[in-house]
Amino acid sequence: MNVFQELKKFLYQLLNSVDGLHSILITDRDGVPVISVSDEKAPELAMRASFLSTFGMATDQGSKLDLGKNKTIISIYSSYQVVQMNKLPLVVSFIANNICDTGHILSLESKIDPILQNLKNVVAEA
Amino acid sequence: MERNLEKTMDNVTNVEGVIGCILADRQGLCLGAKGSASGQSAGLIAAIADEVAKLEPESNAPIIALESDNRQCIIQRQGPIVGAIYKAISP
C-alpha cells in the first residue's frame, strides 16, 4: 500500500469515527484538493474549490479582529455544518450534517495534525 | 453570565474525591472545565453520551462510568447539557 492509500485509509477511519461527518478535505488555500474522503451523503457543491477557497479570504479578514490569528471557522447551515481549519499553506475542511457533534469534529484536529506536516512539504514544493 | 455555571462547577469540584468536571453543550462545545478536566475533551464526552444513549433509545439518559487504574470519569446528559465528573480512586 502506498503512502497516498494509507493516508486515505487513515482519513476514512476518522470519517467513520464521527457520527454525521460526511467529508474530510485537505486542500491548498485556493481550494484545490490535495486529498479528500467523503461518503455518498456529502453535498457536492460544498466540496467544490469555489466554496472551499472562500475560507482563505475569511480567515485573513478574521485575523484582523485583533484577536490573534484565526484558527478555525465553523459555519452552521440549516442542514449541514462546515468546520474549516487554518493550517496554511493547507486548509482542512470537515463537512457534516447540522446535528453532528461540532466538538467531536474539533477534537480530530490533534489526530490530523501529524499527517499535515508531510503534505505541507508537498504543497510548498509545488 | 456564566457565574452560575462557574459556581456549580466549583461546588462539584469541592466534593471530596472529585478532581475535575466539564460541561458541554448539545454541539459538544465546551461550556466550562474545572480541575484536571480539559476543555479539549468536551466533544468526545458529548459523543460518548450520544452514542451510549443509542443502546437503549427508550430509556432515560444513561450514566456512563469509565474507569482506569486511578481515575473514574462519570458522564451523563441532562437535557441540552452533558456533564462529566472526574474522580480519583483511592487504592
Q: Say what the ipTM of the complex is.
A: 0.79
A18–B41 C-beta distance less than 8 A: no
Percent above pLDDT 70 for chain A = 97
Give B-chain residues touching A105 at CB under 8 angstroms.
43
Please report the number of interchain residue pairs, chain A to chain B, with beta-carbon separation below 8 angstroms: 38
Separation CA A92–CA A52 (nearest Å): 10
Which residues of chain B are within 8 Å of residue A103 when distances are taken between CB atoms? 24, 27-30, 42-44, 46-47
Q: Is the model's pLDDT at A126 over the cut of 70?
A: no
pLDDT beyond 90 at A25: yes
Instruction: Give all domains of chain B, ordered by start, each with its CATH number.
Output: 2-88 (3.30.450.30)
- A65-112 pLDDT, tens per residue? 989 999 999 999 999 999 999 998 899 999 999 989 999 999 999 999
- The residue ranking higher by pLDDT, A119 or A63, is A63
Cα separation, B45 vs B50, in Å, equals: 9
- In order of their start, the domains of chain A are 3-120 (3.30.450.30)
Contact A103 B29 (CB under 8 A): yes
H or E element that contains A42: none
CA distance A53 to chain B (A): 26
Is 0.80 topped by the overall pTM? Answer: yes
DSSP-derived secondary structure letter, B90: P
Question: Closest Cα to residue A87, out of A64, A48, A44, A121?
Answer: A121
